[in-house]
Amino acid sequence: MTTAPSFPRPAVSGAGAATDPAAGTPETLGPPPPARPAPSARGPGRRWLRAVVLAALVLATVAFVYPLLWLLSASFKPRAEVFDNRLVPRTFTLDNYVTVWQEAPLALWLGNTVVVTVLAAGLVTVSSALVAWGFAFFRFRGRGPLFGLVLATMMLPGAVTMIPTFLIWNQLGLVGTNVPLWAGNLFASAFYVFLLRQFFLGLPREPFEAARLDGANNWQMFWRIAVPLCRPALVLTFLFEAQASWTDLMRPLIYLQDSSTFTIPRGLKALIDQFGPGGESQWEVVVTASVITTLPMILLFFLGQRHFVEGVATTGSKG
């Protein structure tokens, strides 16, 4: 059982593969092609156009970035001012952070989430790399159909297997722990298998030929050569899955009952229930908790920016 990444996943094979010759050709995955130079400013008409484009982009940027700024700013406002929509708080206060820390075991929740995320992302990277290598390096009869099966599972809506999976974990007595949130990733995820296979297929031959002559076995070729060469792809896998795992709500809702085991999104939901519209209308608490939930993801993004952007571009172009 795998976490579905929130990013777009490649389309299924089948008809797609048949009509898309690109699916068959292994391509070396490199950085996206350099941006085509914009049409040169030919005369005043062009310049006007560019100004309009720039203005539109700036406007759009404001619309996209504003909500996050609003959230951040609201977390520093006392309750009465949360809704006043001023970007710079009239009364700047850190009280909300203190309150939220007291009202909820945030440190615990953050810790839980980090553990689950690192485990989930780490495990899926390792296992998907292994499986992807199996498909990329070796040739055997039935490889195509088997890989097709892998791709087909990407199309399966999680809801179909949700209940039996719960029952399996229930039988194992692991409901109520966070094990179901990451243990499924021991078994690789079709999406990352697909991604990593593409990377592996693009590796050059020489290092392997040389290693073969030196008497290296399969495992060594995987671990000593392929993996180091594909580090960017592995980092990408780790980051994608980290984001998916951190932000997942469905699984914590199903498997976590004791509030001390909550992950941060689950905890935020509990805070919404308690302090939100149905509860005590203490929006400042909810807002602050939202900031604490979101900030690590923003940080993660800035740390791995290049990987995220490239990775997303790649999944689309391989689709």
Q: What is the largest CA-CA distance in the chain?
A: 74
Exposed / middle / buried, residue 25 (Cβ in 10 Å: 0-12, 13-18, 19+): exposed
Between 43 and 67, name the residue whose CB sits nearer to another protein. Answer: 67
- 109, 238 contact by CB (below 8 A): no
Minimum distance, C-beta of residue 92 to another protein, in the bound complex (Å): 19
Minimum distance, C-beta of residue 297 to another protein, in the bound complex (Å): 4
Minimum distance, C-beta of residue 146 to another protein, in the bound complex (Å): 6
Between 94 and 152, name the residue whose CB sits nearer to another protein. Answer: 152
* Distance of alpha carbon 148 from alpha carbon 14, whole angstroms: 7
Between 9 and 116, name the residue whose CB sits nearer to another protein. Answer: 9
Minimum distance, C-beta of residue 43 to another protein, in the bound complex (Å): 14
Between 94 and 105, name the residue whose CB sits nearer to another protein. Answer: 105
- 137, 201 contact by CB (below 8 A): no
Minimum distance, C-beta of residue 94 to another protein, in the bound complex (Å): 18
Minimum distance, C-beta of residue 65 to another protein, in the bound complex (Å): 6
* Distance of alpha carbon 151 from alpha carbon 244, whole angstroms: 19
Between 90 and 143, name the residue whose CB sits nearer to another protein. Answer: 143
Q: Within the chain, where are the H helices?
A: 15-19, 43-74, 95-103, 106-137, 143-154, 158-171, 179-182, 190-201, 206-213, 218-220, 227-229, 231-247, 250-255, 264-275, 283-303, 305-317
* Distance of alpha carbon 113 from alpha carbon 127, whole angstroms: 21
- 89, 73 contact by CB (below 8 A): yes
Minimum distance, C-beta of residue 145 to another protein, in the bound complex (Å): 6
- 31, 214 contact by CB (below 8 A): no
Between 91 and 305, name the residue whose CB sits nearer to another protein. Answer: 305
Between 231 and 281, name the residue whose CB sits nearer to another protein. Answer: 281
